[in-house]
Amino acid sequence: MNIIGIIPARMGSTRFPGKPLAEICGRAMIYHVYFRSALSKLLRGVYIATPDRQIRDYCLKNNMNVVMTKATHERASDRTAEAMLKIEKKTKCRTDIVVMIQGDEPLVYPAMINKAVQPLLKTQQILVSNLIAPLKSAKEFEDKNEIKVVADKNNFALYFSREPIPSRKKHSGNIPMMKQVCIIPFRRDFLLKFNRMAQTPLEKIESIDMLRCLENGYKVKLVRSDFNTYSVDSEEDLKNVARIMKKDRLRKSY
């Protein structure tokens, strides 16, 4: 199967402008995401999708595949779809599965990508999957930047929210505190279909793409990862990731 990874990245993040080129251990964050993702043997190729010349120039300077996209996209999935079609035209090879890897996941491991793709390899009925991981503390659980998720007994998503779900108000014991990790494999045609759908009310309220699937009656398969990873949404997150990265063994591989 032709499986590719696409990393949507732009300089104009509302929470942390310019973060794709923010430095971690002497390299831009996007550099770490790209080369760590490229270590996955399932991926035939990895590409940065961006509307920004600064990011394009950095990628070209560092031998990273890059695709220029429109600046008008509101969602990462739109940018990913545009890049995928351009890659297909250039390579003359149709994509089977595209893995959308957010550019603010600098601690991504290739095994995380491999695991996220597995449900789509096992059955044609799975159209999209999403990696999830445990939240480590009540502070993270309350953090609006962390997208929380709850699942049914078959590990399909019931809901995604920036609010703490499930509620801890009426339960004193341990509850499952899970977060979305933005490694999301789509079947090619479903990604295009997904982007033709209008944005949905809950998607707009929460600002979470995957709710468009749920609101339209499609299932999102959740895949648990136990890797200790953190996304970057603030300067504080960047410092935390830099501390972890200094001791990270995978960094020596690229």
Tell me, what's the pLDDT at 136? Answer: 87
The answer to whether position 156 is within a domain reads no
Q: Domain containing 216: what range? A: 3-130+182-197+210-221+230-253
8-state DSSP, 63: T
84 occurs within a structural domain: yes
Question: Residues near 231 by Cβ (< 8 Å), separated by ≥ 6?
Answer: 102, 104, 105, 145, 181, 182, 237
pLDDT digit string (tens) for the chain, length 254 residues: 999 999 999 998 777 889 999 999 999 999 999 999 999 999 999 999 999 999 999 999 999 999 999 999 989 999 999 999 999 999 999 999 999 999 999 999 999 999 999 999 999 999 999 999 999 888 899 998 899 999 999 999 999 999 999 988 876 667 889 999 999 999 999 999 999 999 999 999 999 999 999 999 999 999 999 898 888 988 999 999 999 999 999 999 99
Measure the CA angle with vertex 21, ends 16 and 29; round to 5°. Answer: 90
Crossing angle for the helix pair 110-122 and 29-37, nearest 10 degrees? 50
Q: Is residue 29 part of a domain?
A: yes
10, part of any domain: yes
214 in any annotated domain: yes
Q: What is the DSSP letter of 44?
A: S
What pLDDT score was predicted for residue 88? 98
Would 236 be classed as within a structural domain?
A: yes
- Assess whether the previous peptide bond of 106 is cis (omega < 30° from 0): no
CATH number of the domain enclosing 10: 3.90.550.10
Q: Is residue 57 in a domain?
A: yes
Q: What is the pLDDT of residue 16?
A: 83
Question: Domain for residue 108, yes or no?
Answer: yes
Q: How many domains would you assign to the chain?
A: 1
